[in-house]
Structure 1
Amino acid sequence: MDIRAEVWSPLQNTAVWLGAWLHGLEATDNVIDALADLGADGLVDVLGDIRRSVGLDGEEPALRLVLSGPGEAPALPAGSAAAEAASVSSAGALVLADAAPLTHHILVPDAEGNWEWFVEEGPLPAPAWLSPGEADELLTQATNEAARLVMASGYTTDALASPRLTVGTLADFYDTPGLPAAVPGRAAKLFARADRVGAIIETVTRRMNDHRIDPQLLGLWRHIRAARMAGVAYAVREFGRLT
């Protein structure tokens, strides 16, 4: 199993850059450069279609991130082509709100970097709509509980006792290529916490090749995904308030 695909999301930053661009807070050239850095070059050719399709004045964020993983189906209509594609993709999906009520555009990348575009008429499954504070608290609680279980098992490692020392080599990878300047601090903090917890998990399970505490660590995946989705939704809402 690809641990990095579960704990890191380049689609998170892709969503934030697109959201800032859609709300006029980033220049097109900057977005194109960011998409190239994120491996999302395939979206460059459809930026015009994205701008024409998205509705910026609705109650929901103009753009959302949908992530899924083991034991968690994507929050898309069950049995739909979009849900099937998102379940197969390790990256997740982007959901664009249309100007027409109850219409959504769903973009899903495949392993080759190509993107499928789906249109869903009708309501989508309701996301959790966590605030950054709620998502951060859930991730913190889950991290603390995992640490407690690990300590109770008698297992110790520098990766848990001093994670900054062991995940330092991953820091540049998780931080690149950064976020738009307009990203609110609360969202950036939430992304940073999700990145740090993801780096710890990768260090222990992949870099150290130690799987004795997988059940404790892998239980954090759901909360990492929730934090990333909440951060994107919050950031895009705030972009709308700035314009």
Structure 2
Amino acid sequence: MNIRAEVWSPLQNTAVWLGAWLHGLEATDNLIDALTDLGGEGLTGVLRDIRQVAGGVLAGEEPVLRLVLSGPGEAPALRAGSAAAEAASRSGAGALVLRDADPLTSHILVPDSGGNWQWFVEEQPLPAPAWLSPGEADQLLTQATNEAARLVQASGYRSDALNSPRLTVGTLADFYDTPGLPSAAPVRAAKLFARADRVAAIVETVTGRMGDHRIDPELLALWRHIRAARMAGVAYSVREFGRLT
């Protein structure tokens, strides 16, 4: 199993960059450079369409753009059985959901492994997102991490390479941090993303780099909270961009 594919989401930063651009806080050239770094250059051909869809709904409390992630045991928060949900499940990378002037219509962009994107128009209500605040998402991730640590300790798990994970986590954390966020990204969201990156790096270190799977159940339970933190951070960022403009 590719652990990194489950705990890291370049779509997270793609969504934040798109949100900043839609609200006029980033230039198109900067956005295109970021999309290229993030592997989302396939979106460059539909930026005009994205702006046309989102241009009339930038105001309001609900963010114009949000991130949908899923993983083992957690279906994407899209309409069950829809083409968009099936594509997102196959992709494994997640999806971006754009609001429409029609409150019942959503536009769903799903990347595939080849760098291409599928655009779906959904004319039925989508499942309501959790709408966690950064503080709530951070608290849930912290609690889950502490509980996982407690379970690992209670299991009597020991490793002769205890120093190795720490070094590897530092290296992976640098990887997860790149290529960064737009300058307008809220500090609270950036901190939440950083915590998610740190926990993701720990999970990958122990299960992937060290090849030790004795505590997989304890660590893999963190995946859901990592994804929730990323989705909450994106929604908060895009909402805050709207308040800046």
* TM-score (ref. length: structure 1): 0.96
In 2, Cα distance between equivalents of 1:128 and 1:42: 29
Structure 1 residues 187 and 151: CA distance shift in structure 2, 3 A? same
Other-structure match for 1:43: 43
Give the equivalent residue in structure 2 for 1:8: 8
Q: Distance in 1 between matches of 2:42 and 2:128?
A: 28
Match of 2:17 in 1: 17
Alignment root-mean-square deviation, CA: 1.4
The aligned length equals 243
- Report the Cα distance in structure 2 between the residues aligned to 1:229 and 1:162, rounded to whole angstroms: 30
State the secondary structure of the residue aligned to 1:53.
helix
Q: What CA distance in whole angstroms lies between the structure 2 residues aligned with 1:222 and 1:32?
A: 30
Moved more, 150-159 or 196-205: 150-159
Change (3 A) 1:74 1:158: farther
| 8 Å CA contact retained: 1:102, 1:123 | yes
Task: After TM superposition, list the pairs within 5 Å mapping 1:1-243 onto structure 2.
Answer: 1-54=1-54, 55-157=57-159, 164-243=166-245
CA–CA distance in structure 1, aligned partners of residues 144 and 165 of structure 2: 16
Whole-angstrom CA distance in 2 between matches of 1:36 and 1:48: 17
Deviation at 1:163, TM superposition (A): 5.6
Aligned amino acid, residue 70 of structure 2: S
Q: Equivalents in 2 of 1:145, 1:106: separation in Å?
A: 35
Contact 1:53 1:98 in 2 (8 A): yes
List alignment gaps of at least 5 residues for structure 2.
none
Consecutive aligned runs of 4 or more in structure 1 exceeding 6 Å deviation: 158-162
**Residues 141 and 166 (structure 1 numbering): CA distance in 2 closer, same or farther, change over 3 Å?**
same
Pair 64,159 (structure 1): closer, same or farther in 2 beyond 3 Å: farther
Any conservation in 2 of the 1:159–1:204 contact (CA below 8 Å)? no
Partners in 1 of 2:14 and 2:159 — Cα distance?
A: 34
User: What CA deviation, in whole Å up to 9, does each residue of 1:78-112 have, x standing for no partner?
Assistant: 11100110111121000000122221100000111
Deviations 1:116-162 (A, max 9, x none): 00001121100100000000000000000000000011113488789
SS at match of 1:155: coil
Distance 1:42 1:157 in 2: 43
CA distance in 1, matches of 2:79, 2:201: 32
Change (3 A) 1:139 1:161: farther
Q: Structure 1 residue 168: deviation in Å?
A: 1.7
Alignment check: 8 A CA contact 1:56 1:62 kept: yes
| Structure 2 letter corresponding to 1:130 | L
**CA distance, structure 1, for counterparts of residue 224 and residue 201 of structure 2:** 15
AA matched with 2:232: A
